[in-house]
Chains A and B, each alone.
Chain A
Amino acid sequence: MHGASLSRWTMSYFAAACLFLILGQGMMAAGYGYPTVSTAAPETLALVHVVAIGWLSLLMAGALLQFVPVLISRQLVGGRFAPVVLALLVGGLLLLVSGFVALSGTANLPLGLLPLGGVVLLSGFALLAGVLAATLLAARPLGLPARFVALGVTALVATALLGTAFSLGLSGAVESPLLDTLVGEGIGLHAAFGLGGWLSLTAIGVSYRLFPMFLLAPETEKATSRAVWWSGAFALGLVAACLPLLLLAVAGADILLSLAALLTLALVLLYGHDAIGFYRARKRKQAELNIRASLAALAILAAATLLFLLPPVRAAAGENAAALVYLFVFGWLTGLGLSQLYKIVAFMTWLESYGPVLGRAPVPRVQDLVAERRAFVLFCLYYAAVGAATLSLFGGSAGLFRACVCVQLAATVALVNEFVRARRLSYVPAALRAPAGAVHPRLFLPTFAPRR
């Protein structure tokens, strides 16, 4: 069928993602992982995967199940696998994190949990990639946003394959010198594929459709936008080319990675140019909060990329440029994620509740499901806390860092509470809330009752 309908399980993905975001920040506030221990410590790895898989990847997966059909105007192929993917990802992540805890020695757990988690996660991501690939293949030729998603999904598969190999090597389940080299040298590539390729390129691609949609700006495919795609594709290719060099201990990976970093900077600047272009060409006078909050995330992306390319700053950012990675993950990816969730949850809830009665009874507007002024304060608080936490990592103060993360956590919990209020239609004027025939949505599970 042409068009897109509501993705039944997306809200469950979002709910799980929000819980993992709260858990991850709670771990940091409690002093678990870096900077209390090193970035390579099992505790830090547990924390990083709670955030990268539990929060960011579940968020992205849920969003793609809803928005890939919007990008290509066609229904999802294999959408029935959505709950299976969710169960595999959540189950695999819990196993993986237990494996890291076992590795850290804080609890007496079998080390075999680590590779088991890796394999379950790989199967979940492979199934997700299969659903998205089948959907995209059926819709060729693809528009630019969908081509970004294809690139991101390719990077996801690379990330998951590398991660599974690490879990086999780290746990000692498979012993091979090649695997040892991979574990020693390949973590940076795993992170580049995951945070850069999968999460960032996909987010950028979807935003090429969502920004003009929310701003009512003309949606034309520009040469600069295509250049962003090609920069991303080349950068990913360079990162992939590093893999054999590192494994065979051949020199040259540094040069390739520097080139990839420069391409990334070009990509970010071009993307910024396009985003500002959409903003200037908008027909909606006042951009809604989700866009304003997303622009802040975009500014942070540009800042983090620029700072990463300055050697003295990178050196001051701590082990493995931890402070800049923090800024990238919580300022850019999480900031963008929370901003877009703010709109997406309200819109999906509106369509689910009032879709059946649209045109038959007066219904509230989408804006009536949210209270932007309140959320504006929360977004300001969130970004301020992220900035302060980043500075405290630069300053090397673990105590101050934990205090900042506490504020960040509080802002996040309050924002999640705003999403819950949107789901519950709490802000909708009572007179409009429940016209006859409207559906009262469940908080995060799909409604199974068939519509007449």
Chain B
Amino acid sequence: MSDIREEIAPKEVDVRPILRSGGEPFQLIMEAVNGLAPGQSLKLLATFRPQPLFRVMASRGFDHEAREIGGGDWEVLFTPQAGAAGRVEVSAAAENPEAWPDPSEHLDLTDLDPPEPMVRILSAADALAPGQVLFALLTREPIFLFPELEKRGHQWVGNFDSTGTAYRILVRAGRPREI
């Protein structure tokens, strides 16, 4: 992936109507976040300072800048953090990966031919107790693994290291599901 950062206008999400009608906008916000282009910011308009959201967004690699815009309303600009390592990818259901327990299992899968790493990770993840975490090291991004983990109710977070040659993934086991 090239490191040229294009200037993309922030995506604007106004959740004030939903909040005023007593609705819950979290789902909508997360959908908007998932739809952001790499490097794109998110501008959120709300009727209060959305303190709890800051933590969730920080776990997804976003800094925030909040300001009151009158009438008790707030505008928050979430900007993706620039880091040396590759952008952190997170599964849709993963909350606060920084609060996950330390991994109870470490897998070095760098010597295996695909799709063997995928098989090993799924096998290990299914063997974990709910809430336990495993760490795995791979040579490339396991594109087909992500949907399979999510289908099985597991959460994951992963990225390339700063050299771009090793992919690191943390998987937290969800509730066991029927086969």
A406 at the interface (CB under 8 A from B): no
Contact of B118 among A4, A216, A358 (CB under 8 A): A358
Q: Is the CB of A3 within 8 A of B37?
A: no
Q: Is B95 an interface residue (CB 8 A)?
A: no
Chain B residues, Cβ within 8 Å of A357 = 179
Do the beta carbons of A70 and B143 come within 8 Å of each other? yes
Main secondary structure of the interface of B (DSSP, over half): loop
Residues in B61-118 with C-beta less than 8 Å from chain A: 89-92, 113-115, 118
Tell me whether B124 and A359 are in contact (CB under 8 A).
yes
Q: With a CB–CB cut-off of 8 A, which chain B residues contact A5?
A: 144, 147
B112 (CB) vs chain A CBs: closest residue: A216
- Confirm or deny: B9 has a beta carbon within 8 angstroms of a beta carbon on chain A: no
Distance A358 CA – B150 CA, assembled complex (angstroms): 14
The yes or no answer to A366 lying at the interface (CB within 8 A) is yes
A355 within 8 A of B: yes
Q: Answer whether residue A373 sits at the interface, using C-beta atoms and an 8 A cutoff.
A: no
Interface size on B, residues (CB 8 A): 44
B51 at the interface (CB under 8 A from A): no
User: Beyond A1-B92, A141-B38, is A356–B123 a contact (Cβ under 8 Å)?
Assistant: no
Which of A141, A284, A363 has the most C-beta atoms of chain B within 10 angstroms of its own C-beta? A141
Structural contact, A219 and B113, CB atoms closer than 8 A: no
A187 CB–B CB distance under 8 Å:
no
Contact status B146-A2, CB under 8 Å = yes
Q: Which of B6, B35, B89 contacts A140 (CB 8 A)?
A: B6
A436 at the interface (CB under 8 A from B): yes
Question: For residue A365, which residue of chain B has the nearest CB?
Answer: B116
| In the complex, per-residue mask of B1-45: 1 if CB is within 8 Å of any chain A CB, else 0 | 110111010000000000000000000000000110111000000
The answer to whether B118 touches A356, judged by C-beta atoms less than 8 angstroms apart, is: no
- A1 & B113 in contact (Cβ 8 Å cutoff): no
Q: Say whether B120 contacts A359, CB under 8 Å.
A: yes
Contact of A359 with B150 in the complex, beta carbons under 8 Å = no
**Min CB–CB distance A266 → chain B (angstroms):** 22
Contact B38–A359 (Cβ < 8 Å): no
Residues of the A chain whose Cβ atoms lie less than 8 Å from the Cβ of B37: 138-140
* A221 contact set on B, CB distance < 8 A: 2
- A141 to B165, Cβ gap below 8 A? no
The CA-CA distance from A359 to B117 in the complex, in Å, is 10
Q: Tell me the residues in window 353-371 of chain A with beta carbons closer than 8 Å to chain B beta carbons.
A: 355-360, 363, 366
Residues of A within 8 A of B114 (CB): 213, 216
Interchain CB contact under 8 A, B179 and A219: no
Q: Are A141 and B5 within 8 A (Cβ)?
A: yes
Nearest chain A CB to B36 CB, angstrom units: 9
Which chain A positions have C-beta within 8 A of B168? none
A64: shortest Cβ distance to chain B, in Å? 15
B59 interface residue, CB < 8 Å from A? Answer: no
Residue of B nearest to A147 (CB): B2
Contact with B along A149-174 (1 / 0, CB 8 A): 00000000000000000000000000
**Complex partner residue of A358 from B5, B8, B92, B148, CB under 8 angstroms:** B148
B139 within 8 Å of A by Cβ?
A: yes
Quick check: B123 and A360 within 8 Å, CB to CB? yes
Q: Is B145 an interface residue (CB 8 A)?
A: yes
A residues within 8 Å of B by Cβ?
Answer: 1-5, 69-70, 73, 138-144, 213, 216, 218-221, 284, 347, 350-351, 355-360, 363, 366, 436-437, 451-452
Q: Which 4 A-B pairs have the closest CB atoms?
A: A3-B146, A359-B123, A359-B122, A5-B147
25 contacts between A and B (CB under 8 A): A1-B146, A1-B147, A3-B144, A3-B147, A73-B141, A138-B37, A140-B8, A140-B37, A141-B38, A213-B114, A213-B140, A216-B139, A220-B164, A221-B2, A350-B115, A355-B148, A356-B179, A358-B118, A358-B122, A359-B123, A359-B124, A359-B126, A363-B119, A366-B115, A436-B179
Binding site for A on B (CB under 8 A): 1-2, 4-6, 8, 34-35, 37-39, 89-92, 113-115, 118-126, 139-148, 150-151, 164-165, 177-179
Can you name 14 extra interface pairs (CB under 8 A) apart from A1-B34, A138-B37? A1-B150, A2-B90, A4-B144, A143-B1, A216-B139, A218-B165, A220-B164, A284-B113, A358-B118, A358-B122, A359-B120, A359-B126, A363-B119, A452-B178
